Structure formats: C-alpha cells, structure tokens
C-alpha cells in the first residue's frame, strides 16, 4: 500500500484501471471502490470525485458508501492495516485480551496510524471465520485462534 497518495496522475491512472476492469455501471460501485482503496491505500477525495463524474453517481452517495464500509478508508493508512474482529463470537473466545495486547504491541488505538507510517489499526465486524476466533486480518492475511502471546511473532512477519 502507498501512504498519503496525493498525486493526481496516480489517482487518475488508478481510476482508469478500475473502469477498464469493471466498467462504469453502478452495479460495480463496490468493486471499483475496493479496487481503488487497495491500489491507492485509501480513497482520496479526488478519486471519489472522479468516479462520481465518470459514473454519474452523486458525490454524496459515493462518500456515504465510502464512509459506511470499514474496509474502505477516506484517510491515508499505514503500509500495513491490522483489522481486529470485534464481533461477539470472537469477543467471547478471548478477543478482548487480544485487542488489549494488539493495541499495546502497536502502541495504537483504533483508527490510528503509527508515526512511521508502518501500521494502521482498525476494528471491524465479522470477517467470516468465526469458528477460529479471535481473528485478525493484516493486509490480506487472516490469522485465527490468535492469542496475545502470538502477536509479537505475527507482527514481526511484516517489514
Ligand atoms: S465474529 Fe470474528 S470472524 Fe466472525
């Protein structure tokens, strides 16, 4: 992921790629936003405005969608995004202890990015693998049955 993309050419190139891949149908809005969020590291206002113009979707609607789903961010994020599942099935099998340990290990609270731009920490709802809770997702890697004492080793895998 890229931190703090503000280069308009990068934004326009990413929007071009998203449109080539998914077209401009409103049915493809979520895949397009997902593509841009992944390609740019977040959804800058310039990207949302360009998508709004090309898809003829009101900006207010785009910003509503972008801010509703936790998988999207309208602010720059770190190179690695750690998502912690805060839903009940993970909570009852030790999620609270993992969450405390995760915040301490990263020295971050939910929604924060480390000063060096390496980590962002966010909470999320169910990640779809409730049977192996507590669950965290780092970038595209999912970890289940996470215990607090495993976090140092897990986080060390990311440069
Ligand atoms: S409740 Fe945590 S993955 Fe479903």
> Is residue 143 located within the same domain as residue 94?
yes
Q: What is the pLDDT of residues 118-135, one digit of tens each?
A: 999 999 999 999 999 999
Question: Could you give the percent of the chain with pLDDT greater than 90?
Answer: 84
Q: What is the pLDDT of residues 86-102, one digit of tens each?
A: 999 999 999 999 999 99
> Is residue 14 located within the same domain as residue 58?
yes
* Pocket mutation for ligand 1, best pick of 84, 86, 87, 142 (most atoms within 8 Å of C-beta): 87
Q: Is there a domain that residue 3 lies in?
A: no
What is the atom index within ligand 1 of the atom nearest the CA of 127? 3
> Is residue 37 located within the same domain as residue 97?
no
Question: Could you give the percent of the chain with pLDDT greater than 70?
Answer: 96
Domain membership of residue 17 as a residue range: 8-68
Write the CB contacts of 137 (distance below 8 Å, at least 6 apart in sequence).
Answer: 82, 83, 85, 124, 127, 143
Q: Is there a domain that residue 74 lies in?
A: no
Q: Is there a domain that residue 2 lies in?
A: no
> Is residue 45 located within the same domain as residue 84?
no
Write the CB contacts of 9 (distance below 8 Å, at least 6 apart in sequence).
Answer: none
For the chain, the domain total comes to 2
């Amino acid at each position: 992921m890229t931190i703090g993309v503000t280069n308009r050419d990068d934004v326009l190139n990413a929007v071009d790629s998203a449109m080539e891949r998914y077209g401009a149908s409103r049915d493809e809005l979520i895949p397009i936003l997902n593509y841009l969020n992944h390609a740019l590291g977040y959804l800058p206002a310039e990207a949302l405005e360009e998508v709004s113009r090309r898809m003829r979707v009101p900006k207010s609607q785009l910003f509503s969608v972008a801010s509703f789903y936790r998988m999207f961010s309208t602010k720059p994020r770190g190179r690695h995004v750690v998502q912690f599942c805060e839903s009940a099935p993970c909570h009852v099998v030790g999620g609270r202890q993992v969450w405390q340990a995760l915040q301490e290990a990263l020295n971050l609270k939910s929604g924060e990015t480390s000063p060096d731009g390496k980590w962002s920490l966010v909470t999320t709802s169910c990640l779809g693998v409730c049977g192996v809770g507590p669950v965290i997702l780092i970038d595209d890697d999912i970890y289940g049955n996470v215990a607090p004492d495993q976090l140092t080793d897990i986080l060390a895998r990311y440069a």
